[in-house]
Structure 1
């Protein structure tokens, strides 16, 4: 093209005629191809010779007449390709941003919903209209009674009482030693206490895993579809647990009692544990199935 332009500039343009027809021109978004077609189109009234119908180019296997609609169609095609490319780049980014925004919105909404539900539960407890007789039923082995009854049970009950708006003197934690009715069958009392409680806490130890009545309490809790919190009093290997306990241990987070020089402490702390217990009392579906605890602290 440069050579022909120089020739045209040095020659009388009325005497110069150049035939560039019937050549394999390509119409595309490539800058070189576009420049070629534009150059031919620009010089159609000067030195470009031969019938104009012989100047054609291919655009995506379609033949176009260079002196008719080739430039217009090519430009339209290139604009469409640019739009597709921009959409291909921007849509995933926009989609990810929208997804992140949606996740954040759902998280915030869920957090606020849990706050409202927790506040409602606390109000029910304070006003004495809580639908269950107890917030939690604490199941433990008789061998662990000293630790559970003298240390864990009173602290758990007092911490739950403090979680209400103004505090309550109502007993919120049920235990077999204190609430089983004398003269009644143990199996019947286990079922009654589990039914009267919103959440079941299993104080798990090696002795607990070996006791028949403890296994019955675990099975009854599981059969009633109650939310369960595992509180490990000591390290227990999975093969020492029963089938149901092992299944719960592998699937859900648990709390632990840690011995120390001050008599021991619970992990996570009492506030987190009690908030989780209150959250678990709320029905989440029409069939009244209670959600499970996820303390997000300890997974083994």
Structure 2
């Protein structure tokens, strides 16, 4: 016999012993059609054939679990990596293997001929060498993932990154000769706050709480400090003179307010007299292009701003704002540093 017949033994449910010794059998496919359904088989012998490789598809799993004796002696086994499964199986099930290990030897390759199959010990490292292409693929994958991760973080936290770079530049320039001046003591307020009435909640709940209650600064806001009876223009003029710097709270509501645009013109005049560092714009939200006026664009283009960010970037924003408010006038302005980012 050279080939094992299909759908023949599978009909012999009561067959207990099957001897196919000393034939020319080399290998076979579809083991279920050859050995399947042999529920009574206990002893299978394929001794002295031309079988070179036994692998996990050679016999059905349920057949191997039922066999009491299996004889594959005197076959010319190939001691190659394809034989690894059979070597591992022998370690756990060798007791049912007849004439093992004496009659199980390597028939090829030539340098292994005559060596007992027991002494052929393939390893994963030898049989499954690491392909350099895998390393290249992994590195490329890491680079691509890192690129998209950094890109998405940078896009999402652009304002925070700019604020952080801004603080680094301020710290660097302090080491090169910044001398704190006490000019803020000449003013009654640390800052005059220009904002839209629709943003009053953020100004009162967040800005005032942080700068006045926690940091001890004094701010001038029109809802609280303007003198009743004086005109708005008079109040603005008088309290701007009492304020060291100007905070401009920029939002879409601010951009749509004609009154706020007039205030921008007023503070721009002070900026022209005292320098860029006297004004600190705070952007609460991205301004829609349809709301951007020429006055506001001029302010934002000529005076670097701090972007408010809730969550992870909040602490960084407040730190940058305090640095801007406490920075002395008369030195190279922090706004100049920020504009170079």
With the length of structure 2 as denominator, give the TM-score of the two structures.
0.43
Structure with larger Rg = 2
